[in-house]
Amino acid sequence: MLRQWSVRKETGDDVLLAYSWSSHKAEVALKSNLGPSGYCYGRDLLTLPDHPLGQDHLECGHFEEIDRLGSNAHLKLLSDGVEGVSREQKEEFVKFLLSLEARRPDVLSRIRTSGVAGIKQQLDDDVEIKSELARFRADESPTQFYEKTVGSVENETVSTVVEYLTEDSIGLPAAMNSYWGIKKFSGSLKLVLSDRPLIRHGVSGAKNSFWALPLSPDKLLILSPSDHVFHSLISRSPGELVRKANISSVSNCDRYVFGTSWYDQRWLKKLFDQRGPHAQ
């Protein structure tokens, strides 16, 4: 998806114009030395040490296929529009979008800390499990017994929760039962892309909810379960849609927003100012 925002430098290199907020300078910083593979990637975020299926099980065994199918569906949406995409391809694309959220560094960090701690606490507080261990005169806690006989609680928690967020969350059926449409823009109207690309409004499946996603600098995908909400969005003026989508992208970003013009830095400063200072 990031490749749609690549720009060619005078050297012939394809790079991304990555904008972020510099809190100590109170200005927008521009980074323009890396291509798409240089962003939205965290080393070891998905590593599962000692996992029976391999420490790279999530990245290679789960997300690799989701990324491949999602990328194919994305290109199909760009070339053929919503009408040219099958229901199966829509589902593959939605899973891809949900997986991007599940793989965010702060989401994975919360799963590995508070999520794992909560599961361990539930195990250790389970009266029935403790009673069974006492019957067999086991001197370990339920967590210790589980990890000795089954495997790492952390590995199991991370893989289970991340796969759930991608495959089984309420977002999947909600998106599949929504109206889909693509709004195309022309001229100087350009969308920016956040490192959290999916714009979500309201609770998934609720009547007033909608999703919006920049597919490219000139195409915005819109989904809503409500016929009224969908048509009110898709019929808005191009300028208003681009402005609101860009505001949401800046507001939602973890760190970077990607543009297509060296002049984006000027107006992005206003949006980052509205968002408030975020130290990087």
Do residues 75 and 230 make contact, with C-beta atoms less than 8 angstroms apart? no
Q: Residue 267's pLDDT band (boundaries 50, 70, 90)?
A: confident
pLDDT tens digits for range 221-240: 999 999 999 999 999 999 99
pLDDT tens digits for range 108-129: 888 888 888 998 899 888 888 8
pLDDT for residue 57 is more than 80: no
Q: Residue 279's pLDDT band (boundaries 50, 70, 90)?
A: very low
Query: At residue 30, what are phi and psi to the nearest 5 degrees?
Result: -115, 130
Do residues 245 and 251 make contact, with C-beta atoms less than 8 angstroms apart? no
The confidence score (pLDDT) of residue 42 equals 59
pLDDT tens digits for range 206-223: 889 999 999 999 999 999
pLDDT tens digits for range 192-207: 999 999 999 998 888 8
Do residues 115 and 164 make contact, with C-beta atoms less than 8 angstroms apart? no
Q: Residue 44's pLDDT band (boundaries 50, 70, 90)?
A: low
The confidence score (pLDDT) of residue 280 equals 46
Q: Which of left, alpha, beta for 54 (phi over 0: left; psi -120 to 50: alpha)?
A: left
The confidence score (pLDDT) of residue 70 equals 95
Q: Residue 183's pLDDT band (boundaries 50, 70, 90)?
A: very high
- Give the chain as a 3 state SS string: CHHHHEEECCCCCEEEEEEEEECCCCEEEEECCCCHHHCCCCCCCCCCCCCCCCCCHHHHHHHHHHHHHHHHHHHHHHHHCHHHCCHHHHHHHHHHHHHHHHCCHHHHHHHHHHHHHHHHHHHHHCHHHHHHHHHCCCCCCHHHHHHHHCCCHHHHHHHHHHHHHHHCCCHHHHHHCCEEEEEECCCCCCCCEECCCCEEECCCCCCCCEEEEEEECCEEEEEECCHHHHHHHHCCCHHHHHHHHHHHHHHHCCCCEEECCCCHHHHHHHHHHHHCCCCC
Which among 258, 265, 100 has a CA at the least distance from the CA of 192? 258
